[in-house]
């Protein structure tokens, strides 16, 4: 009989899909924006489909993860504060270990967030914000672990010129460990450079880095690149490809998302 499927095999792909779900604005990438939604307006951001592949060594062990319809709805309360709600309507993982194939699927966690833009400088075109969030558990065997998790995100952005924007983000999360025996602190950072290319087309490059306080945890990062197509001033398509650097160095994730200002 094949040995039990190791949780890290599945977790590595799910981390990629979760990382691809950040941000709520009509702009691309994982790195958050400090901009809030104007009062009385809404922004719907949906990761239409995200797919991750982790060929584990030695072959033929591998894990695959799929996320479909991951929406995040943001609504403006004041000029500096908005409220955001999101969920993962469908998550599926498939793990192959020595010919033993197992698949789990279900709904992901519910996320509640609020964003406060505490600093703006019109002269330098910079802004920064705080985003506290909480993840509420579901009964899913895939993304759920039966425990509440949360954290704090600090995004910053600068408008270099009318066509180029740079941003960075620092994040601290209190998450359950892979064995689901205790909480551990995860530190996360990212940076992005985004530019308008021609007409309705844009492109961006991004780097991320994550580490944990748990002794059994590892440090990993990603290199991401993407392209955007603005169908209108209120609707945008975004396609992103990312490669993981670290213990899961063979992992890739692809995400197709759209953003719609309502």
Classify 7-261 by CATH class.
Answer: mainly beta
Q: Where do the domains of the chain lie?
A: 7-261
Among all chains, which residue has been given the structure tokens 């009964």? Answer: 139
pLDDT, position 161: 94
> Above 80 in pLDDT, residue 130?
yes
Neighbouring CB atoms inside 10 A of 216's CB total 10
pLDDT tens string 19-49: 444 333 334 468 999 999 999 999 988 877 7
pLDDT in tens, 47-103: 777 766 655 444 444 555 666 667 889 999 999 999 999 887 766 665 555 555 666
Check residue 96 and give its pLDDT: 53
Indicate the pLDDT class of residue 1, thresholds 50, 70 and 90.
very low
pLDDT value for 24: 33
Higher pLDDT, 117 or 6: 117
If you average pLDDT over residues 229-239, what whole number do you get? 91
pLDDT of residue 42: 94
> pLDDT at position 251, please?
76
- Which value, to the nearest 10 degrees, does the dihedral of the CA atoms of residues 113, 111, 251, 30 take? -20
């Amino acid at each position: 009989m094949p040995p039990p499927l190791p949780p890290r095999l599945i977790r590595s792909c799910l981390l990629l899909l979760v990382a691809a779900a950040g941000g709520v604005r009509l702009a691309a990438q994982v790195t958050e924006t400090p901009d809030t939604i104007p009062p009385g307006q809404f922004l719907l951001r949906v990761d239409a489909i995200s797919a991750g592949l982790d060929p584990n060594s030695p072959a033929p062990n591998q894990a695959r993860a799929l996320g479909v319809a991951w929406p995040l709805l943001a609504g403006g309360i004041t000029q500096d504060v908005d409220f955001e709600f999101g969920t993962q309507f469908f998550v599926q993982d498939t793990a192959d270990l020595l010919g033993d194939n197992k698949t789990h699927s279900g709904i992901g966690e519910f996320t509640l967030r609020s964003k406060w833009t505490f600093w703006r400088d019109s002269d330098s075109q910079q802004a920064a914000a705080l985003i506290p969030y909480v993840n509420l558990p579901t009964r899913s065997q895939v993304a759920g672990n039966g425990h509440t998790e949360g954290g704090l995100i600090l995004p910053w952005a600068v408008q270099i010129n009318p066509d180029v924007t740079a941003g960075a983000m620092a994040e601290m999360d209190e998450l359950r460990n892979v064995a689901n025996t205790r909480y551990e602190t995860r530190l996360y950072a990212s940076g992005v450079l985004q530019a308008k290319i021609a007409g309705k087309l844009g492109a961006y490059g991004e780097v991320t880095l994550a580490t944990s306080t748990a002794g059994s945890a590892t440090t990993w990062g990603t290199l991401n690149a993407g392209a955007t197509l603005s169908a209108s001033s209120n609707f945008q398509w975004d396609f992103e490809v990312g490669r993981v650097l670290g213990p899961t160095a063979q992992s890739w994730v692809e995400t197709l998302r759209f953003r719609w200002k309502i």
